[in-house]
A and B are shown apart, each in its own frame.
Chain A
């Protein structure tokens, strides 16, 4: 076996030329950057994981991807009829359907990232226990599949704006970009944090579900910011309410897609607030990633 021997020899030469490197997830100083680099080098696998999640979800259902649309549409119908018509919220909010759907898409994206991300490490236990991968790919893959579903919803939302003959062809449309960034940054940060914590404390996933529900109602999705403003007399409290990053992102989406609201009162300096929220979010993402790195060392044995 001359060829095998030659192959062996060249393998040995190549190995001798490669430096030794520590195994597994790095820890200590500079670990964060190393981890980010190794995640980036696994982009392709990340893509495959996202596709796996999406494909597997509706694999055997007749309607397939429609289901990811049907849920928000039903939600929209409920809020439109119950909140809008029965409870009369639609009277003070023009184009109530578009308004609700804009907010719903924003909160839906955030919820899907956080809830999906929280369970991601646990649901990939088979892989975590048997193969070494940068473990960040699991929460990140749920961010990816959430963004995909969000993309579909966005198309429906845009379609709706054309349907009511008020397409978002105004400069406020660009609010959507910082709003989306804020959602993704906060969602990813919390997904990383909770996915790691959930390995040790399984209650986390239920807690997260409850808290995201709370956050949904704490943002002006089915009611308007004006209503809150008229109810909260203290300007400080109003600031606290408004500066919730999720609320800011929801407001950003409404400004972008809800043309009918252009002339209404909005919190001042929304763009600046979104900018600050984004910067804070990036810091939070960094901190959460560090916590994730600290916690991931014992994943394999805790699962």
Chain B
């Protein structure tokens, strides 16, 4: 994979920076928090007002210096809790966490910014909270202000800042604290595009400098792009720990299962109108359902349709990427396919001849249209298929490339 170069010189040993051993975390959700309520619900009744929730269950991880680890999982899977446990903000119910080196947590930008203080005062306070001494902050102050691109506003109270300026300054402080371990929670997507690029550059610098980055993100492409290792969490358990592409693919499968589960309830309610699509499958020729599509495979998309009576109709498919971005679309009308009148059940087959899809997960949408152009039935993300990752490239296309480089120095 064209990973970011999480370069670590082979000569140096790679010590662990964090050792997480059998960590579980139980949250007790209470519904009473005033003295009166506590007293009223004392004893046995009190137990009914409590509810236990295990955010983490027996998580064991060793994190080595220089790694960039992505924590993924759906909402409530415990990834943020794990990050907070590593950061020492939450104490685990059982298990131990050991660490070495300076740790900086970027859990929320501008935590501890006081709106009434000026940018300058907040920089000093926030840097001190993140473990920098006054002299160190002074030495880096100009760099921080330049990075945040705040300019003269540095002596204005931060409550007058635009939200962009606020997070830029906060991010600037956090990345100038010289951490050995940086914890990042969904904060890389701040500011405008130029600033985001600056943030990413900074993160890559961090990787080159052998710093450890642990990040929680829902941007799975970003995780694959940045991380050298990825941990997939589900309901507090570690489901997978290792190669980011594999972790992301498994996570997408997991999300897909959930989505189908949720959809099954809705689908039954949908009225069967003049025509309907009953099933969509996408299978590589010569492989079983759900198997990964390999380069060179033909992909067969079958759409089962049914109608009481439909003389002329059109069926279209669209293939989307995981972000819902259109990758490819075609239809029986565009292909000049002869379509017989439909009465009862029917089937449309689109055979995609060795499609040049890049690695990743793709979704298939299908639409049934009558001859007036009226949509009779539309089904979004009816099915999905996985394409084997291309070790030589990323993106939606698989293209054979011959590389060649020349240099003036010979």
Contact = CB atoms under 8 A, between A and B. Distances in A.
Interface string B105-118: 10110011010110
Nearest to A12: B12
Interface in A1-39: 1, 4-5, 7-9, 11-16, 18-25, 27
A301 interface: yes
A16 B15 contact: yes
B129 A127 contact: yes
A213 interface: no
B117 A52 contact: yes
A71 interface: no
B88 A23 contact: yes
Interface in A126-142: 126-133
Given A16-B13, A127-B111, A300 B84 contact: yes
A56 interface: yes
Interface stretch (B120-128, B275-283, B340-348): B120-128
Interface centre among A14, A60, A128 (most CB of B within 10 A): A14
Given A5-B208, A8-B7, A15 B35 contact: no
B108 A23 contact: no
A184 B90 CA distance: 30
A12 B88 CA distance: 22
Given A201-B34, A201-B35, A11 B180 contact: yes
Contacts, number: 153
B173 to A, nearest CB: 12
Contact of B88 (A7, A25, A301): A25
Interface in B67-116: 84-91, 96-101, 103, 105, 107-108, 111-112, 114, 116
Given A130-B107, A131-B89, A4 B209 contact: yes
B283 to A, nearest CB: 46
A282 interface: no
A56 B157 CA distance: 10
Contact of B33 (A127, A130, A201): A201
A200 interface: yes
B33 A202 contact: yes
A18 B111 contact: no
A2 to B, nearest CB: 10
B116 A13 contact: no
A131 B111 CA distance: 8
A202 B12 contact: no
B35 A203 contact: yes
Contacts of A19: 100
A298 interface: yes
B98 A20 contact: yes
Interface in B110-148: 111-112, 114, 116-117, 121, 124-125, 128-130, 133-134
A55 B12 contact: no
Given A9-B9, A15-B101, A131-B105, A301 B117 contact: no
B79 to A, nearest CB: 16
Contacts of A64: none
A201 B32 CA distance: 9
Contacts of B114: 52, 56
A20 B34 contact: no
Given A5-B9, A16-B13, A131 B100 contact: no
A301 B89 CA distance: 9
B211 interface: yes
A52 B124 CA distance: 10
19 contacts: A4-B209, A8-B209, A8-B210, A11-B209, A12-B9, A14-B101, A15-B101, A21-B100, A23-B98, A24-B91, A48-B124, A56-B117, A59-B157, A124-B112, A126-B112, A131-B89, A131-B111, A203-B34, A301-B90
